[in-house]
Amino acid sequence: MILPPIYGAIQTVRDGLETRYLAAFLGLAAVGIGSWCFHMTLKYEMQLLDELPMIYSCCIFVYCLYECFKHKNTRNYLLAFILVLFSGLVTIVYLQWKEPVFHQITHGLELFTTVSKT
């Protein structure tokens, strides 16, 4: 969960692919690092380091999927704004309301969006 995404990020840069793919690989690496830290310590702070990158990287995956069938050299700023806003709101609510079910529901919604688009 850490080394393969880093290798993918290096290959993305070497191949000159779009930045969204680099962000996706780095997001996966962040999830791997956070998960490793949490499962080694079982501390609440490390749990956040595990779960919040899941939200962020899944937003990147949603963006990547919706950008697959776009015109060259265009960006969907509205979708990017909505996903950043969603990530920010989830972070704020989750930091205030420390309920794991909230993370499970929001992450499940993101996964449902990803799978339905796939």
How high does pLDDT run on average in the chain? 94
- pLDDT: which is higher, 49 or 117: 49
SS3 67: coil
Q: At what angle do helices 19-41 and 44-66 cross, to 10 degrees?
A: 160
Angle at 103 (CA atoms; ends 31, 113), nearest 5 degrees? 80
Q: Which tokens go with 1?
A: 């969960």
Give residue 94's identity as a one-letter amino acid code: Y
Domain boundaries, the chain: 3-117
CA gap 34, 63 in Å, rounded: 22
Model confidence at 118, in pLDDT bands (50, 70, 90)? confident
pLDDT tens for 12-43 read 999 999 999 999 999 999 999 999 999 999 99
pLDDT tens for 63-109 read 999 998 877 777 889 999 999 999 999 999 999 999 999 999 999 99
43: left (phi over 0), alpha (psi -120 to 50) or beta: beta
